[in-house]
Amino acid sequence: MVMATATIEQFAPVTFNLNNNHTLTQVKKDFFLDNHQNGAVLGKHLIGDALRRRVESIDHESCEPGDEDTFFVGDLGEVYRQHMRWKKNLPRVKPFYAVKCNPDPQVLQLLAALGTGFDCASKAEIEQVLNMGVDAERIIYAQPCKTNSYVRYVATKGVKQMTFDNADELRKIAKLYPEAELFLRILTDDSSSLCRLSLKFGASLDDTENLLSLAKDLGLNVVGVSFHVGSGASDPLCFLKAVQDADTVFKQAYAHGFDLKTLDVGGGFSGDSFEAMATVLRGALDEYFPPSINIIAEPGRYYVSSAFTLACNIIARRTIHDPATGESSYMAYVNDGLYGNFSSIMFDHQQPIAKVLSAGQKILFDSPTAEGLPAGIGGGIEYSIWGPTCDGIDRITESIRFDHELDVGDWFYFEDMGAYTKCSATKFNGFSDAHDVVYVCSEPGARAVLGL
Ligand X SMILES: *Cc1c(COP(=O)(O)O)cnc(C)c1O
Catalytic residues: 390
Residue with Cβ nearer ligand X (40 or 140)? 140
Q: Check binding of 298 to ligand X (CB under 6 A).
A: yes
Report how far apart, in Å, the C-alpha atoms of 261 and of each of 91, 187, 251, 389 are.
18, 20, 12, 50
Which stretch in 250-258, 295-303, 314-322, 381-389 sits in contact with ligand X by CB under 6 A?
Answer: 295-303
CB 417 within 8 A of CB 51: no
The pattern of x and - marking residues 200 through 229 that bind ligand X according to CB under 6 A reads ----------------------------x-
**426 in Cβ contact with 433 (< 8 Å):** yes
Cβ proximity to ligand X: between 118 and 402 the closer is 118
Candidates 136, 113, 111; CA nearest to 126 is: 136
Alpha helices in 196-297 (DSSP H): 208-217, 237-255, 274-288
For 79, the enclosing helix (H) or strand (E) is helix 76-89
Spatial contact of 227 and 245, defined as CB atoms under 8 Å apart: yes
Among 141, 164, 239, 269, the residue binding ligand X under the rule CB under 6 A is 269
Tell me which residues in 299-358 interact with ligand X (CB under 6 A): 299-302
Among 130, 223, 140, residue whose Cα is nearest residue 182: 223
Q: In angstroms, give the least distance from the CB of 264 to ligand X.
A: 8
In sequence order, the 6+-apart residues with CB closer than 8 A to the CB of 226 are 142, 163, 183, 184, 185, 186, 263, 264, 265, 266, 298
Q: Among the candidate windows 53-61, 123-131, 298-306, 425-433, which touches ligand X by CB under 6 A? A: 298-306
The phi and psi torsions of 423 (rounded to 5 degrees) equal -65, -25
* Given 95, 202, 236, 268, the residue binding ligand X (CB under 6 A): 268
Q: Contact with ligand X (CB under 6 A): which of 75, 119, 181, 235? A: 119
> Shortest Cβ distance from residue 304 to ligand X (Å)?
9
Nearest to ligand X of 39, 95 (CB atom): 95
The number of residues that bind ligand X (CB under 6 A) is 17
Cα 241 → chain centroid: 25
Cα torsion through 138, 348, 93, 125, rounded to 10: 0
The count of other CB atoms within 10 Å of the CB of residue 376 is 6
Q: Which residues, 6 or more positions from 303, have their beta carbon under 8 angstroms from its beta carbon? A: 79, 82, 83, 95, 97, 101, 107, 111
In the complex, minimum distance from the CB of residue 213 to ligand X, in angstroms, rounded to a whole number? 24
- 185-204 residues in contact with ligand X (CB under 6 A) are 197
**What sections of 289-354 are H helices per DSSP?**
301-304, 343-347
Q: Which of 48, 236, 267, 340 binds ligand X (CB under 6 A)?
A: 267
Rule CB under 6 A: say whether 418 interacts with ligand X: no
**Residue 194 carries which DSSP code?**
S
Answer yes or no: are the C-beta atoms of 338 and 387 closer than 8 Å. yes
- Which residue's Cβ has the minimum distance to ligand X? 267
- Sites for ligand X among residues 423-442 (CB under 6 A): none
Q: Of 266, 352, 372, 388, which lies in the binding site for ligand X, with binding defined by CB under 6 A?
A: 266
Nearest-approach distance from CB 423 to ligand X, in angstroms: 11
The residue (of 121 and 253) whose beta carbon lies closer to ligand X is: 121
Yes or no: say if 19 and 451 are a contact pair by the CB < 8 Å rule: no
Of residues 124-143, those binding ligand X (CB under 6 A): 142
Residues 79-98 binding ligand X (CB under 6 A) are 98
180 binding ligand X? (CB under 6 A): no
CB of 267 to ligand X, least distance (A): 2
- Please identify, among the stretches 2-10, 27-35, 292-300, 357-365, the one whose residues bind ligand X according to the rule CB under 6 A: 292-300
Alpha helix stretches (DSSP H) within 131-228: 148-157, 167-176, 208-217
Contacting ligand X (CB under 6 A), which of 46, 58, 93, 101?
101
d(CA 151, CA 141): 9
Contact 24, 62 (CB under 8 A): no
For ligand X, give the closer residue by CB, 101 or 446. Answer: 101
Q: Nearer Cβ to ligand X, position 97 or 153?
A: 97
Please identify, using beta-carbon distances, which residue of 302 and 431 lies nearer to ligand X: 302
Q: Is the Cβ of residue 101 or residue 110 nearer to ligand X in the bound state? A: 101
Sites of contact with ligand X (CB under 6 A) = 98, 100-101, 119, 142, 197, 228, 231, 266-269, 298-302
